[in-house]
Amino acid sequence: MDKTLSIIIPTYNERDNINPLVKKISNALSGYNYEIVFIDDNSQDGTAELASAMSAEYPVRVIVRKNERGLASAVVEGFKQSKGEILAVMDADLQHPPEVLPHLIQAIIDGADIAIASRYVPGGAIPHWGMVRRIISKGAIILAHLALTSTGKVRDPMSGYFMLNRDVLNGANLRPTGYKILLEVLIEGQYQNIKEVPYTFGNRSSSESKMRMRQQVDYLMHLYSLMNRKGEIIRFLKFCAVGASGVLVNEGLLWILKHFAGLHLLLSSAISIETSIISNFILNDYFTFRDRRLLGARPFVQRLYKFNAVSLAGLAINMGVLWLFTHVFGVYYLVSNLIGIAMATLWNYFINRSWTWKV
């Protein structure tokens, strides 16, 4: 590879890991044109001094930030301060094995714009994690897929170990909070091809973990910010508003059919429910998912069928939850119904977004 690779490594109190890390990278990348850029947030254990000392023998640069803390913002600083046409990001604690770097480089050479070292593709693993941490990690990934549409095909969007063409960041306004810099790149960057390369997540080799409860909160805030930027919060609110309008249509028509037309209650209800489903569909097609619809009569009718099916299943969910909470858990029925409505709304929203208005 004739392009220069800059490996960005954020550090905070990683003194004991620097020496083995740099040596392993050097072994893995002999013959490559690369630099290692440490972004240290003024560690008090001498990390920066030790790393600087290694620059005599290895292509190492150290940038010390005195007034800022945070992994993701350190990486963004590294992007700015480095020279390479190819960028890599990895942790300092040897949980990201440097032996994977050549595989990531190969993926980029083969045409990937972003190459992700992934724990969740076949061949990848996290042998040292307990059950709780696994569940949190998987839950966070599912949440990201639900909240954001663009992470769709990536199995490990939370990976902190990845490589990319610098061009991906052209025009990208990176504003990450917390730890998940790749998520930010996936949402803000410009790319066509992503390749995931399997790897085994190592055990933290020394020093203390900075993994805290605070990170989970940061993650949720980051997710909210990304959803907001992508218009996904507004989309969900529109969907809820349309749903509320459907309740009015349903109630109004039921009243008219029962009271004025004198139809049987259940027949009136069936007609009202179906009418509100159709009015919801038209409003959602026009407002909520306008950017995701295919034009033409045929796709329109297909969407209508799908929306109908999803809504009827939603109705069943609403009633099932109502029954379960009221009769099994002994919850007051109006409260159970609210829970049912919330569940059905989430179901309707996510299934319609990914199926009815699939892009």
Ligand X SMILES: Nc1nc2c(ncn2[C@@H]2O[C@H](COP(=O)(O)OP(=O)(O)OP(=O)(O)O)[C@@H](O)[C@H]2O)c(=O)[nH]1
Looking from the CA of 85 toward its CB, the CA atoms found within 13 Å total: 8
Tokens found for residue 59: 């292509």
String of contacts with ligand X for each residue 53-72, x by CB under 6 A:
----------------xxx-
Q: Are strands 86-89 and 5-11 parallel, antiparallel or unpaired?
A: parallel
Figure out which of the listed residues 40, 93, 113, 232 binds Mg ion, where binding follows CB under 5 A.
93
98 contact choice in ligand X, Mg ion, none (CB below 5 to 8 Å, kind-dependent):
none
Residue nearest to ligand X (CB): 209
Q: Which is nearer to Mg ion, 93 or 113 (CB)?
A: 93
d(CA 45, CA 9): 17
211 contact choice in ligand X, Mg ion, none (CB below 5 to 8 Å, kind-dependent):
ligand X
SS3 state of residue 39 = strand
Figure out which of the listed residues 95, 165, 177, 250 binds Mg ion, where binding follows CB under 5 A.
95
Q: Which is nearer to ligand X, 16 or 35 (CB)?
A: 16
Beta strands in the chain (DSSP E): 5-11, 34-40, 60-64, 86-89, 114-118, 162-165, 194-198
The one segment of 89-97, 139-147, 181-189, 245-253 that binds ligand X by CB under 6 A: 89-97
Helices (H), 92-212: 101-109, 131-147, 181-188
Residue owning tokens 């993926």: 107
Query: In the β-sheet with 86-89, what is the strand arrangement from edge to edge?
Result: 60-64, 34-40, 5-11, 86-89, 162-165, 114-118, 194-198
CA nearest neighbour of 36 among 95, 109, 98, 115 = 98
Q: Which is nearer to Mg ion, 93 or 232 (CB)?
A: 93
93 lines the binding site for ligand X (CB under 6 A): yes
95 lines the binding site for ligand X (CB under 6 A): yes
Q: How many CB atoms lie within 10 A of CB 236?
A: 18
92 lines the binding site for ligand X (CB under 6 A): yes
Q: Which of residues 10-49 bind ligand X (CB under 6 A)?
A: 10-12, 14, 39-41
Q: How far is the CB of 35 from Mg ion (least distance, A)?
A: 22
22 contact choice in ligand X, Mg ion, none (CB below 5 to 8 Å, kind-dependent):
none
The answer to whether 238 and 288 have CB atoms below 8 angstroms apart is yes
The one segment of 5-13, 29-37, 151-159, 221-229 that binds ligand X by CB under 6 A: 5-13
Q: Which is nearer to Mg ion, 124 or 340 (CB)?
A: 124
Q: Which of residues 194-233 bind ligand X (CB under 6 A)?
A: 204, 209-211
DSSP class per residue in 188-223: HS--S-EEEEE-BPPPP-SS-----HHHHHHHHHHH
Q: How far is the CB of 12 from Mg ion (least distance, A)?
A: 11
Binding site for Mg ion (CB under 5 A): 91, 93, 95
Binding site for ligand X (CB under 6 A): 10-12, 14, 39-41, 69-71, 74, 91-93, 95, 204, 209-211
